[in-house]
């Protein structure tokens, strides 16, 4: 069975600081990888996804993530965060050809002015 | 707005009761997924339907059931409710039954409070 670990549960940054959120998954086969964001009081929105090809994927709002197969990782990065990035971030994995998303426990990001 | 709608937004009920949550997928999407988000369990996949048929099951309790109707909307039925069932229930939809190359679009969720 697949599983996802997000190591940082709460992160507090100042505006303009760089962000990196860790995500590791456990699954022996080929996977699709996702980062979702949940702004306060809102539904989950897709930030970016990796299916195949270039392991560095760029998403919306300046976010990017790098798939490192050897490390089973898919870390999320942003060079300069904004106050509006305050939200909860979820990493998710889907076994290629499977039907369900397995989510990590989420990272609560707070960006201070 | 993802195009996925869920009703009601909030539901408050008592232990032992039964409730029905409703989800309408995005236009053209055939798959509907249900997830439960709670503080202690995080975001967990419950069940998936594709074009009216059950396709995948996750950590769904026997007290819970779901169905997808011919118009593709789906209902999640929760019975014999317990305090621990209090959670945010999300519905998501996608075009195909498999997630290969396809993303899921999430609805705003239904917050269930069991007193």
Residue pair B105/B94 in contact (Cβ under 8 Å)? The answer is yes
For residue A75, the SS3 value is strand
- Phi, psi dihedral angles at A74 (to 5 degrees): -150, 70
The per-residue pLDDT for range B14-73, each reduced to its tens digit, is 999 999 999 999 998 999 999 999 888 888 999 999 999 998 898 899 999 999 999 999
Nearest to B101 among A36, A51, A102 (CB): A51
- Phi, psi dihedral angles at B114 (to 5 degrees): -110, 120
Residue to test with chain B: of A32, A43, A46, A53, most B Cβ within 10 A: A43
Q: Is residue A10 within 8 angstroms of chain B, CB to CB?
A: no
The per-residue pLDDT for range A55-91, each reduced to its tens digit, is 999 999 999 999 999 999 999 999 999 999 999 999 9
**pLDDT (mean) for A85-112:** 90
Residue pair A37/A45 in contact (Cβ under 8 Å)? The answer is yes
Asked if the Cβ–Cβ distance from A103 to B43 is below 8 Å, we say: yes
Q: DSSP for B28-55?
A: T--EEEEEEEETTTEEEEEEEEETTEEE
């Amino acid at each position: 069975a697949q599983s996802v670990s997000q190591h940082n549960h709460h992160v507090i940054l100042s505006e303009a600081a760089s962000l990196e959120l860790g995500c590791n998954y456990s699954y022996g086969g080929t996977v699709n990888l996702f980062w979702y964001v949940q702004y306060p009081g809102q539904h989950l929105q897709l930030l970016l996804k990796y299916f195949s090809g270039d392991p560095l994927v760029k998403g919306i709002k300046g976010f990017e993530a790098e798939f490192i197969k050897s490390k089973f990782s898919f870390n999320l990065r942003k060079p300069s965060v904004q106050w509006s990035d305050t939200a909860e971030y979820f990493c998710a994995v889907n076994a290629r050809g499977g039907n369900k998303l397995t989510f990590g426990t989420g990272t609560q990001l707070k960006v201070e002015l | 707005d993802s195009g996925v709608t869920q009703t009601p937004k909030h539901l408050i009920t008592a232990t032992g009761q039964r409730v029905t949550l409703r989800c309408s997928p995005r236009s053209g999407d055939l798959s509907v997924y249900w997830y439960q988000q709670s503080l202690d369990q995080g975001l967990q996949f419950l069940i998936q339907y594709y074009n009216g048929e059950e396709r995948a099951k996750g950590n769904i309790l026997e007290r819970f059931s779901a169905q997808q109707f011919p118009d593709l909307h789906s209902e999640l039925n929760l019975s014999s409710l317990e305090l621990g069932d209090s959670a945010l229930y999300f519905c998501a939809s996608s075009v195909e039954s498999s997630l290969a190359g396809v993303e899921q679009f999430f609805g705003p969720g239904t917050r269930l409070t069991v007193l």
